[in-house]
A and B are shown apart, each in its own frame.
Chain A
Amino acid sequence: MKPLTHIHSRTVVIPFENVDTDRIIPARFLTTTERTGLGKALFQDWRYRPDGRPDPDFVLNKPEAKGCEILVAGRNFGCGSSREHAAWALTGDGIRAVFSSQIADIFRANALKNGLLAVVLNEDEHAWLLQHPGVELDVDIAEQTIALPDGKKFTFSLEPFAKHCLLAGVDQLGFLLQHEAQIAAFEKAREIA
């Protein structure tokens, strides 16, 4: 994983609550055996009309959404299925941060393991961002701050190990493998017990 320290981008806003992972990427796109190439399926049934043409009214299809790396989403984003494809679809489409007032547990864990900063803001700051789509933000992961154009700063909470992994690009499997001796000792102790 590449280190992620700062994100500077305008926002796109999807204000709906409870955006589930089926909505982020429908099951019919889970047929891949790769991690890449899923960006084109992101929000498929919102993004495209039944005839396959893009829906010009959907926020990610608007010209001003081009290049945006920050998604501000309504409460309880990423609920439902554990499919990591949801995180892969978002990163595959260039999204690097998701801000909400609540994020589902499994989605958040998946996102953070893929360099996608999925974090929770307090209700007021989240509400402000929902009301100001397109605002340009400067996100500092080390400081856990989001700077607004007027210099005002919002803060977000981030689990310390996930933060360390994002900042340093730590490979979590590599970290686990370094604990081989403890794992083996644990297994041995259980066999005896």
Chain B
Amino acid sequence: MISNSDGAPRTLLDKIWDAHQVVAETEATPAILYIDLHLVHEVTSPQAFSELRARGLKVRRPECIVATIDHSTPTLPPGPDGKRPYANAETASQVSQLETNTREFGISFYGWNSPHRGIEHVIGPELGATQPGMTIVSGDSHTSTHGAFGALAFGIGTTEVGHVLATQCLLQRKPKSLAITVNGKLNPGVTAKDLILHIIGEIGIHGGTGHVIEYRGSAIEALTMEERMTVCNMSIEAGARAGLVAADETTFAWLEGRPRAPQGADWGKAVARFRQFKSDPGAKFDAEVVIDAAEVPRSVTYGTHPGMVIALGARVPAATNAQEQRALDYMKLEAGKPLIGTPIDVVFIGSCTNGRLSDLRAAASVLRGRKIAANVRMLVVAGSERVKREAQAEGLDRIFLAAGAEWREPGCSMCLGMNGDIGKPGQLIVSTSNRNFEGRQGPGVRTVLASPLVAAASAVAGTIADPAKYLSEVA
């Protein structure tokens, strides 16, 4: 399957691509690329199912789909009447349409009653549905998350969701490859979130456009699976449709025994196959970037896109053009002043970037025995039902509640704010999510992207804060 016809070393991208070409690309036509796993959610799928119905088509491989509800779902529990507090009738209708669509087309649905429900990019890996060497798509740009497992995973639009439902295939031109090698070791207290923010700041918000990034090097190999997911998740924030980390022992140990992973004797065979999906020594990339892990600081955004990144302890840089000045004006930040100490209004811990158990543990490590500042509202939203259960089993929910935070039901929540979880105009949110665009978290809302440690420390301080002192002091 992944034999090498001309003997030239191949990248991980080459190998996955070659193994999934139903029809190779020509000058006139893109490749027909086979898709192994399709994640479906309520917001970007209704029109695709309507298209299938209008044409009298079936879903070709219902067993290759994981469907769940996450984007528009309320994060407050049902009221005394048993009704879920949807933001409006339309979002409720999106959920009920996905229930109907999955039932009619014979697709497994991880809905309100499922113990596996959650953000699609959290539950795919949890279920073991995400596996090395796969092609994975979803009508969501953060599908790049699954690249942490050595799978080629990218976001698509709704028309393409329909293509995959009907044919299990996509028409695609092969992207270029970009190797980002992170050598050395990250400093203590510098997290995967800091690393990916730093990378986006280095290569820029469009530095990865047209490319698939492969993250490599000793600092990447040392990351846990959850940390690799955080890194791959934000590949799209540098314009890259996908990020990849080659599977290794860390990956196999994480996947083994999960419900949709190969079981028993099949597991050993699967691992042997997974091992082939890594770049050959000497494989050529279209572009390469090298980063020294020791140089990566705790990083946050200060502007209105994820490429406007500075070290947490740095001063706000002067605008170099009108565009950057607009961003500073929107953020109400002044060049030359330190970001630390800027008053904040809201803290959001959650999302497909930082809504996993290790992220909640990190936030709890700062909040244990402390209170959030009186003027701050804090939402903690687990990435999935499973993350929520595991966090509660460890007592993390009690730490958050005792600190004065809200402990919400799993979902995308304030990351994109389409379920009603938004800030008020002018508020500053320190958010562990992935986008700080103008208005992303509500009209007029200002967003600073940060790691769970920095977000939790900022909640306690009531201003943007360095977590170092909270981690060293015993509360």
Chain A residues engaging chain B, CB cutoff 8 angstroms? 16-18, 20, 22-23, 26-28, 30-35, 45, 50, 74-76, 79-84, 87, 102, 104-106, 109-110, 113-114, 159-161, 164, 172-173, 175-177, 179-180, 182-183, 186-187, 190, 193
Contact = CB atoms under 8 A, between A and B. Distances in A.
Contacts of A176: 32, 163, 166-167, 169, 171
Given A26-B439, A84-B44, A193-B1, A76 B239 contact: yes
A31 B72 contact: yes
Contacts of B139: 82, 84
A113 B139 CA distance: 15
B32 A114 contact: no
B439 A35 contact: no
B266 to A, nearest CB: 14
Contacts of A83: 44, 157
Contact of A114 (B159, B163, B168): B159
Interface in B35-57: 43-44, 46-47, 50-51, 55, 57
* Contact residues of B: prevailing secondary structure: loop
9 contacts: A18-B206, A23-B439, A79-B239, A104-B206, A110-B158, A110-B159, A114-B159, A160-B27, A177-B57
B263 interface: no
Contacts of A16: 323, 326
Contact of A113 (B141, B155, B157, B435): B157
B155 A82 contact: yes
A34 B97 CA distance: 12
A126 to B, nearest CB: 14
| From A22, A28, A35, residue with most partner B Cβ within 10 Å | A28
B140 A82 contact: yes
Interface stretch (B85-93, B187-195, B335-343, B350-358): B85-93
B237 to A, nearest CB: 8
A80 B141 contact: yes
Interface string B214-237: 000000000000000000000010
Interface of B: 1, 22-23, 27-30, 32, 34, 43-44, 46-47, 50-51, 55, 57, 60, 71-72, 87-88, 90-91, 93-94, 97, 139-141, 154-160, 162-163, 166-169, 171, 173, 175, 205-206, 209-210, 236, 239, 241, 305, 307, 323, 326, 416-418, 425, 435, 437-440, 443-444
A108 to B, nearest CB: 10
A182 B22 contact: yes
A31 B241 contact: no
Contacts of B239: 76, 79, 104-105
